[in-house]
Structures are given as structure tokens and as C-alpha cells.
Amino acid sequence: MKNTSYKYFIAIALAGGLSSCRKNLLDSVPNDRVSSNIFWKTENDALLADNALYTDLDGTSIFTWDALSDIAHTNQNFDTQAFIELGTYDIANAKIYNEWSAAYTGIQATNYFLENIDKVPSINTTLINRFKGEAKVLRAYQYIKLAGFFGDVPLITKTLTIAEGQQVSRTPISQVWDFVDKELSDAAALLPASYAAADKGRITSGAAWALKARADLWAGRYQLAADAATQVKGYTLYSSYQNLFKYAAENNSEVILDKQFLKDSYSNGVFALLAPYSQKNAQSYYVPTKALVDAYETSGGKISMMQAVVLIPTIHMITVTRAFVFLFMLMGIYCQAELPLNRPQIVVQQMPSEVPTLRQQPVITSKNISMRRITPIHQTAVLTSSYCVMLKFC
């Protein structure tokens, strides 16, 4: 009997001891994420949060935008892009949802970042301001896309609860452009013109001005676009357009803004997207059209229809000048036959009366959401200095 009593006593004592040691048992720290209660404590926390924002910058998906324009074609008949190209789609199309969702995911992330960055106890105001500038540019980048695709969109500049999210409404596109314009001007003042090697790929003041120039051009604010382009300094055209997108040209003097990838660690599937079916693992999702080919000229002058053959969708066989276009020329991947291809030559003699990059005819209207087809001036994965040269109208 005594043994039994001792056993009960020991069990009760152990239970009491355990409960007294775990008074905060229900206040556990999650093990599947970083809790905000233990974050925003150091400059390194701010750096990690800032790095995470770059994941929402578009990568190879940017080529799908070109396939919505006249310079490229979706080569997969049952791809969601193909239905948009044919005009036989509605709001249920996955492309519409994905673009909308991805943009607002990026906006939500930057809003959260900007609301919390000042919690970091740091005397290095230059660093904190730089982080803010990077976030502002990435948020403006998303709104440039949304305005170009949909026109009037909800302008959200703070994190929302579920209830608040259900009450948002569309903001007139002119106000969206006003926000983008101010956001990028403010960001440019916070950002450096360049970075040391360890921080290559981060957003610079030049990237902010270049995006502002693009946004103002799309908005029809031509003088503001030209003025912003003149602020993009310190960049020069790379010596070889043919090698511009090869490993040796990474972070070259022409790149203003790009998405950084790391071989074997953070790679991309651009080969599968663009390479012809004859190559292993290639799907040839997107291919160039004649309109893109005609934008290029040889070192001898304008394109003439002779000597080389390129396969183009719907037209199939077209002769072009003394160069054989082998892959997607948006990436500068092609094979030389005799003479090298030069960059597209664009001369603006007079300001157009309408925005040249947006088709004004909406191709989708459903539930008050419209999507416009974009004829981009330069919609490659990198924003290069040749774009800003064009904006200066030189």
C-alpha cells in the first residue's frame, strides 16, 4: 500500500513540476516559419527580408508577354497563351489569374516589408533607406505590369486583412501612373548608382529611372519619359550583341535591371521554353514572328529577302537577309550565316499622339476587369541601356 502511495505521489510531483516549467506551453514559436516576434531585430533580418522580395521579380515568364504581342507566337496549341492570341478566352483563363495573383503577391510582400523595416534598431540609415528604395521599385514594377495589362486596378499600399481585401475597388489608371511616378522618383533618391561585386543584381537608381521612363511612356507622358531617361547614366552598350545573354556577359555594362539566377542552384527553364523540338528537353513554347525579324537589320543595311531561311509560325518559310535566325531573338540567341545582325534601329522623329506600346482595343472584359494586349518596345528579361537610348529619342 505504501509503495502504491509513493508511486502516486511521484507521478503527481512530476506532473506538477512539468506544468510549472511550461507555463508558456501554448505560446510556442512556430517551427515552419520565422515568427515576426523574433524577427526585425537586426540589420541581417532586414537584409534577408529585402532579398526575399526579389523572388517576385519576373523570370522566364516574361517571355509570355511577348507572345501576347505581335513579335512572338505561342507554339503550343493548347497552352493558355494560345487562347489569348486567338481571342477565344475569358476571365477564367489561367494566364489572367496568374498575372493578377503574382503581381499582388509581390505588392503584398513589399507592403509588409515597408511597414516593418523601421522596427530594425539600426543607426545605418543609408542601408535602411536603400532597402526601402529597392522595395519601392519592386512595388512600382508590379503596378506597371498591372496597369499595362488591366488598366484601372486596385491601388493597395498597405497590408490588408481578409475583410479589407473584400472591399477594395479599382483605382483610375491615371492615379496608378501618378503613384508609380512618385514611387520611382522617391526610390531613385534612396538608391546607389552601382554596387560592389557582392551585391551585383540589386536595384540601382538607374533602374528606378529606367522603369520610370517606361511607365511614363506607357502613360503617354512623353516629356517625363524623356526626362527620366536622361537620368539613366553609367551604362554602355555591350560590345557583342550576339554574346549579350551568355555567361561571360553576366552583369555587363549594358544591364540595368535583371533577375539573377545561379547555375545548378537557382536555375531557369529558358532552354525548354525557346529551343526547337529537335533539341533534347526543348518544348519550343514561344517562337519569333516576322515582325520581330523585320526589326533587325544586317551590317549592310535594311533586311532584304534573300539568302537565308527562317521558320516562322503561320508563314512557315520566309527568306531574310544574310543571317539565319536560329532561336528566339529576344534573347540574342542566333547563329550567324555571313554577317552579324545589328540591334533594332528605332528613330522617333515626332511624338506620337497615342501611347505606342498599348493596343487600345481590350481583348477581354468580364466582371469589370479588362486586359489589354501589349505591343512592347522592349520586353526582354533584362532592361538594357539601349532601351533608354531609344527613350532619349537620339
> How many other β-carbons are positioned within 10 Å of the β-carbon of residue 59?
16
Q: Cα 323 from chain centroid?
A: 31
Give, in degrees to the nearest 5, the angle at Cα 18 between 16 and 21. Answer: 110
Residue 308, pLDDT score: 36
pLDDT in tens, the chain (394 residues): 555 555 555 555 555 555 555 566 666 666 667 767 778 889 999 999 999 999 999 988 888 888 888 888 888 888 888 888 888 888 888 888 999 999 999 999 999 999 999 999 989 999 999 999 999 999 999 999 999 999 999 999 999 989 998 999 999 999 999 999 999 999 999 999 999 988 999 999 999 999 999 999 999 999 999 999 999 999 999 998 888 888 888 889 999 998 888 888 888 888 888 888 777 777 888 888 888 888 887 677 665 443 333 333 332 222 222 222 233 333 333 322 223 334 443 333 333 333 333 323 333 323 333 333 333 333 333 454 433 333 332 2
Which H helix or E strand runs over 46?
Answer: helix 43-53
Contacts of 325 (CB under 8 A, 6+ apart): 288, 293, 308, 310, 334, 341
Residue 151, helix vs strand vs coil: coil
Residue 150 grid cell: 488591366
For the question of whether the overall pTM of this predicted structure is more than 0.85, the answer is no
Label the pairing between strands 369-374 and 72-74.
unpaired
> Which residues lie across from 311 on neighbouring strands?
317
Q: What is the dihedral of CA 178, 179, 180, 183, to 10 degrees?
A: 120
Which is it for the CA torsion 263, 268, 272, 274, positive or negative? negative
Label the pairing between strands 358-366 and 369-374.
antiparallel
Residue 188, pLDDT score: 97
The closest of 276, 291, 282 to 327, measured between CA atoms, is 276
Contacts of 132 (CB under 8 A, 6+ apart): 114, 117, 187, 190
The closest of 214, 224, 225 to 257, measured between CA atoms, is 214
User: CA-CA distance, 209 to 207, in Å (whole number)?
Assistant: 5
CATH number 3.40.50.970 given to 43-391: no
> Which residues lie across from 370 on neighbouring strands?
365
User: CA-CA distance, 61 to 45, in Å (whole number)?
Assistant: 29
Residue 87, helix vs strand vs coil: coil
User: CA-CA distance, 91 to 370, in Å (whole number)?
Assistant: 9
Q: Where are the domains of the chain?
A: 43-391
Residue 17, pLDDT score: 56
Residue 26, pLDDT score: 65
Contact between 343 and 254 (Cβ < 8 Å): no
> How many other β-carbons are positioned within 10 Å of the β-carbon of residue 122?
16
Contacts of 274 (CB under 8 A, 6+ apart): 63, 282, 284, 285, 286, 287, 327, 328, 331, 333
Residue 371 amino acid letter: M
User: CA-CA distance, 112 to 162, in Å (whole number)?
Assistant: 15
